[in-house]
Amino acid sequence: MQIALAQEMPSLPPFRQNESFNAYTEGWALYAERLGEELGFYQDPYRYYGHLTDDMLRAIRLVVDTGIHDKHWTRQQVVGFFHEHSGQDEITVQSETDRYIAWPAQALGYKVGQLEILKLRQYAKDQLSEKFNIRTFHDVVLDGGALPMDILETRVHEWVAKQKAQGLNASASTGWMPAATGK
C-alpha cells in the first residue's frame, strides 16, 4: 500500500515516488500486519494461526540472517535450521536460504523498521495523549513516501511538536509539511 501511495504522490519527484528503503518499506509491512490483531480481525485461533505462522517464519529469517553474516554459518547449517524450525517445503527453504545469503541484513532491516515505527507511534501517543489519532499518525508516516528511519523520526517529531504548539486536535488532517532541510 505504501508503495502505491508514494507512486501516486504528485508532490514527490519520480525518483522519490519509486524509492525503496528496506527498513521503511518492509518495516511498514510488518507494522501493518500487527494492525489486524489490534483491530480484532482474528476472531478465533484458526484465523490467528496464519499470522503466527508468518511471525515464526520471520523469526527464523532473523536467526538465519545473523547466522550467515555474523556467525558464518554454512549453507547447509542454514538449510538445516529452516527444516528444524519451519514447515516450509524444500523449494522454499532453498529459495529463502539463497535470499538471505545474497541480501545481508534484509531480515534485520525490516525488523528495525517495524520497531522504529512502533517506537514513533508510542512517542506520538505519549506526547499527544487523548489528542493522538492513529489514522493521522499513519498519514504522517505514509505521506512522505519511503524515507530513511532518521528522517521519518524527524518527520514524526516535527508533526507532534506542531500539534502540541497549535493545540490542534490530532484527528484533524495532518496539514504537515516537512521542514526545509535541503535533503
Question: What does pTM read for this prediction?
Answer: 0.83
Q: What's the pLDDT score for residue 181? A: 37
Which domain, by its residues, includes 46?
19-166
Position 146 in a domain = yes
Position 62 in a domain = yes
Quote the CA–CA distance of 81 and 95 in Å, as a whole number. Answer: 14
Quote the cell numbers at residue 147. Answer: 524515507
Position 12 in a domain = no
Position 176 in a domain = no
- Give the pLDDT confidence of 48-90 residue by residue, as tens digits: 888 888 899 999 999 999 999 999 999 999 999 999 999 899 9
pLDDT at 172 over 70: no
Domain count of the fold of the chain: 1
pLDDT at 175 over 90: no
Position 11 in a domain = no
- Cβ–Cβ < 8 Å for 159, 179: no
Position 50 in a domain = yes
For residue 80, give every residue at least 6 positions away whose Cβ sits within 8 Å of its Cβ, in sequence order, or none: none
Position 122 in a domain = yes
- Give the pLDDT confidence of 3-45 residue by residue, as tens digits: 888 888 888 888 888 888 899 999 999 999 989 888 988 888 8
Position 182 in a domain = no
Task: Give the range among 35-39, 96-100, 137-141, 153-157 with minimum mean pLDDT.
Answer: 35-39
